[in-house]
Structure 1
Amino acid sequence: MYREQLEAYFQDKQDMLVDAVCRLVSIDSVEGEPAPGAPFGPGPAAALEEGLKLAQEWGLITQNHEGYVGTADLCDKADALHILGHLDVVAPGEGWTVTQPYQPRVVDGLIYGRGTDDDKGPVVASLLAMKAVKDLGVPLKSNCRLIMGTNEESGSGDIAWYFARHPFAPATFSPDSGYPVINTEKGGLKPTFTRSWPVQEALPRVKWLHGGFRINVLPGDAEAAVEGLTLHDVHPFARDITARTGITFTCTSQDGCTVIHAKGEGSHAAWPEGGNNAVTGLIALLCALPLADGPCKEALNQLNTLLPHGDYHGRALGIAQSEPIAGDLTVAFTLLEVTETGLTGRFDSRVPLCATKENCENVARAAFEQSGFTFEGEQEEAHHTPADSPFVQTLLKRYEEYTGQKGECLSTGGGTYVHEIPGGVAFGCTMPGFDTHLHGADERVKIADLMLSAKLFAHIILDLCAE
């Protein structure tokens, strides 16, 4: 009924979409120190201000909810649909080649920059869909509300704050994953483990290690300082570990130590097989070096046993498991800090529907505690919305209509805003088979995918909200 109108409307809207995406991507919106009106720092607050400004320019009703989220409404009627997107981003990391993270660039039909795919581009597609519905003047019986968050990458405290004060809508989707419909999100186990020891005088020893910068990012870089071994001593071991792991090492002399930089490939922690973990590669090298016996060496050897390089399914930890809907459990060792007196680390495990406290959390906890580590953290349950729900069937119907591809429900290891929302699903904005370099260098999005999403979202809004 509405497709011809929407196709005609969007014929000349591509430049508008690209310009809007670039406006948002130009803002560094990594989490920072909280301030009044900016609970997650100045960057997310600036991006939220720009997102609300854009929504106002496009004729939508906006509100800033104390800096936690911003909302854009089509009308003042009761909500029938919530679209949940976010304007915060992960840190840029290293290795950008096409452009700099906050200097968006269009190349061959792609927009490059941090947040183009996750999730500023999809937010713009959602806003443009709402603008289309408004401009077409279709009478509405209910409202669509876009909720623009500012803390999705660092705990989703923004959405928790919002829904503690506002009701859920009958239907909710988040364009923060891919197509067709993601109706299952794995649960999570993201503990912190620690171990302490007295300063060790015997050489050679590890003086410090820095690895990872965010719990949900598989680290592509890590660095350690070894005292008591020369560059010449380390090189043959580094060559052997590189041959076994693919991690490359660069060694320099600094302040009487040999500083070892490990270079792998970063990726989202939900899909650790897509990267090459620099932290576990560096641990493998340190365990191969002729270090003096001591508690630091012992702890690193135990970590190398519990979370060895290339074990992305928790086999060594004893928690590997799988089921048909959500698939395999995954484990990414993402954070590690070692000092002269101890270590603190974290891993990010995405767990399927069959994972329980008994067969996952308790097993991992026992393995670490038996090796002398403290272990703190509780398992989060998986999220599942039945594929036969009327809302999911509407999404699949429109997806098939606009793409010509088969619609189906999928699971993801990635977590989105809908994880705690009854009946919520992830929907868009990436078509199957395209690598957006999510959370990595040269993040990118297809302009065509965003335009398709804007049309698709507009039709779904009309399905749920039109008279």
Structure 2
Amino acid sequence: MELNKKIDEMKEELIKASQELVKIKSTEEEGKPGMPYGEGVAKTLDKALEISAALGFHTYKEEDGYYGYAEYGEGEEYVAVLGHMDVVPEGDNWIHPPYGAEIHDDKIFGRGTLDDKGPTMAALFGLKAIKDLNMPLSKKVRVIFGTNEETGSAEMHVYNKKEKAPVSGFTPDAMYPLINAEKGIRRIHVVKALDSCNSDVSVKSLKGGIRPNMVPDKCETVIAAKDTESIVKAVKEFADKMGYNMKAEIVNADVVLHTFGVSAHGSMPELGKNAVMYTLQFLGTIIKEDSALGSYVDFFNKNVGLETEGTSLKVACEDKPSGKLSLNVGVADINEEKADMWLDIRYPVTCKGEEIMNTLSEEFNKCGAKIERVEAQDPLYFAEDSKLVTTLLKVYTEQTGKEGKAYGIGGGTYAKELPNIIGFGPIFPGKPDLDHQANEYIEIEDLIMNAKIYAHTIYELAK
């Protein structure tokens, strides 16, 4: 275990390097020449390269500042570690300064300690241990410093155009033991034009949700009606019958309906309560089906409703590696002229995204709605018996003494941005996932253990 001993000797140096990066605020800002995502991100990239150079690695910075990397070894092929230097905004309610990188109770606190500056430094120092011990490698190893993971990973589009793909590698931006299956994602914008109609009841506006990948927990609807009192009464009766949290009041001669649900991540919509769909259920009781809005509401109530697996829309499917398709109505914006809806769909790794989209297009056409825009992310899948999966799980088991198993997720990780990369750590089973949370921290013991795991992993992939 010479590698582990070497890493123990570098403990203080690794802690200091992680702190230096965390102390730089690297949220995305307005781009400048050579700083496509702002000064903070650029400074953090430069600091990572400075640390790498001081450790004796060859470093490279892309000419426009999109990415950089530290490299060690010889050969045409390379093994990659893909980390990122940007972070999400710090938010409120921190007990320690979010960019102080202070140590309390053997934990380093700060934005980026866990996601993803600390783990990236752990991998860099793992490579440093290999270098210092002069362990023989047959491939180069490249630790890549990304700069835009939190807001689109656009920098990796630049990387993939300019650089050769790695033969294997991992991103320290996920969870242990290992994520081998990440569902495909389709975010679709469904639009229907609405005709104004003379009716006793009409919807002036409906707004719910803030992002497609979140279950909307609030929805506000303005309803015009000749008999507003009867609408308020109908809301109360419907809410009591269904057990929903709905409140209605008369404001400026209109009924304003507030519907409350429970938010959840779009990859697990079954854990939430969808305020938009609750609202559409109620509207289905007061809007005439023969109107443009009525047919739209009726379609969504019958074919989506509170389902989260796409059964009635005829897109339900599942597989062993990644489970069932999930469907979330995330954002709704309806007025008297148009109905807008954003849906977030996560489909199993062995299913075909194109077939799902064709089916959805046919189904939405039935109510006169069209898919105007699609944001797509293909699935990622490594078979459980693949060399990359078995190698990483072997290292995990040897270093932790715990059996490692691969598992699938509904979300997407940084691994999707570069070929032949898999999500591997840094969060250990049973430990809190503090990514994007207030009081983000990494335990120093876990930081060091990550460095050991990553050192052995890099060596196994590149030896």
* TM-score > 0.5, shorter chain as reference: yes
Give 1:362's aligned residue.
358
1:210 paired to 2:207? yes
Q: Partner of 1:223: helix, strand, or coil?
A: strand
Matches of 2:272 and 2:207 in 1, distance apart? 18
Q: Partner of 1:195: helix, strand, or coil?
A: strand
Q: Partner of 1:225: helix, strand, or coil?
A: strand
The 5 Å alignment of 1:370-385 reads 370-376=366-372, 377=374, 381-385=378-382
Matches of 1:52 and 1:260 in 2, distance apart? 52
Of stretches 49-58 and 337-346 in structure 1, the one that deviates more from structure 2 is 49-58
Deviation at 1:236, TM superposition (A): 6.5
Give 1:139's aligned residue.
134
Of stretches 401-410 and 135-144 in structure 1, the one that deviates more from structure 2 is 135-144
Measured against aligned partners, the alpha-carbon deviations of 1:437-466 in whole angstroms (never above 9, x if no partner) come to 766x65856535444323321332344456
The answer to whether the 8 A contact 2:7-2:125 is kept is: no
Of stretches 400-409 and 122-131 in structure 1, the one that deviates more from structure 2 is 122-131
Matching residue within 426, 433, 436 for 1:436: 433
The 5 Å alignment of 1:281-292 reads 281-288=278-285, 290-291=286-287
Matches of 2:161 and 2:230 in 1, distance apart? 59
Deviation at 1:56, TM superposition (A): 1.7
Q: Structure 1 211/84 Cα, relative in aligned 2: closer, same or farther at 3 Å?
A: farther
Measured against aligned partners, the alpha-carbon deviations of 1:215-269 in whole angstroms (never above 9, x if no partner) come to 33333444333344869954763685488476x4566766665544444443332
Give 1:56's aligned residue.
50
Q: Structure 1 231/148 Cα, relative in aligned 2: closer, same or farther at 3 Å?
A: farther
Q: Partner of 1:130: helix, strand, or coil?
A: helix
The answer to whether the 8 A contact 2:160-2:418 is kept is: no
Matches of 1:313 and 1:337 in 2, distance apart? 23
Percent of residue pairs bearing the same amino acid type: 25
Q: Which amino acid aligns with 2:50?
A: Q
Q: Structure 1 192/145 Cα, relative in aligned 2: closer, same or farther at 3 Å?
A: same
Give 2:308's aligned residue.
312
Give 1:124's aligned residue.
118
Matches of 1:251 and 1:66 in 2, distance apart? 57
Matches of 2:369 and 2:126 in 1, distance apart? 56
Q: Structure 1 103/367 Cα, relative in aligned 2: closer, same or farther at 3 Å?
A: farther
Matches of 1:170 and 1:395 in 2, distance apart? 15
Deviation at 1:112, TM superposition (A): 7.8
Give 1:454's aligned residue.
451
What is the RMSD computed on CA atoms of the aligned residues? 4.0
Give 2:333's aligned residue.
337
Q: Partner of 1:191: helix, strand, or coil?
A: strand
Deviation at 1:99, TM superposition (A): 6.7
Structure 2, gaps ≥5 residues long: none
Deviation at 1:47, TM superposition (A): 2.6
Matches of 1:363 and 1:319 in 2, distance apart? 7
The answer to whether the 8 A contact 1:252-1:258 is kept is: yes
Matching residue within 132, 154, 157 for 1:157: 154
The answer to whether the 8 A contact 1:335-1:346 is kept is: yes
Matches of 2:90 and 2:5 in 1, distance apart? 39
Q: Which amino acid aligns with 1:374?
A: K
Matches of 2:317 and 2:12 in 1, distance apart? 49
Deviation at 1:209, TM superposition (A): 2.8
The answer to whether the 8 A contact 2:17-2:121 is kept is: no
Measured against aligned partners, the alpha-carbon deviations of 1:333-388 in whole angstroms (never above 9, x if no partner) come to 22222233102222121111342357522222211111211024487543222333
Matching residue within 267, 270, 284 for 1:270: 267
Give 1:177's aligned residue.
174
Matches of 1:251 and 1:92 in 2, distance apart? 36
Q: Partner of 2:175: helix, strand, or coil?
A: coil
Q: Partner of 1:183: helix, strand, or coil?
A: strand
Deviation at 1:279, TM superposition (A): 3.2
The answer to whether the 8 A contact 2:185-2:344 is kept is: yes
The answer to whether the 8 A contact 1:268-1:438 is kept is: no
Q: Structure 1 298/46 Cα, relative in aligned 2: closer, same or farther at 3 Å?
A: farther
1:427 paired to 2:459? no
Deviation at 1:146, TM superposition (A): 2.6
Q: Structure 1 66/408 Cα, relative in aligned 2: closer, same or farther at 3 Å?
A: same
Q: Partner of 2:204: helix, strand, or coil?
A: strand
Q: Partner of 2:174: helix, strand, or coil?
A: coil
The answer to whether the 8 A contact 2:125-2:451 is kept is: no
Matches of 1:266 and 1:464 in 2, distance apart? 41
Q: Which amino acid aligns with 1:223?
A: E
Structure 1, gaps ≥5 residues long: none
1:400 paired to 2:394? no
The 5 Å alignment of 1:406-417 reads 406-417=403-414
The answer to whether the 8 A contact 2:325-2:347 is kept is: yes
Give 1:2's aligned residue.
2
The 5 Å alignment of 1:161-310 reads 161-200=158-197, 202=199, 204-228=201-225, 233-234=231-232, 237=235, 240-241=238-239, 244=242, 248-249=245-246, 257-288=254-285, 290-291=286-287, 294-309=291-306
Q: Which amino acid aligns with 2:382?
A: T
Measured against aligned partners, the alpha-carbon deviations of 1:167-192 in whole angstroms (never above 9, x if no partner) come to 01121212232211222222233222
Q: Which amino acid aligns with 1:317?
A: L
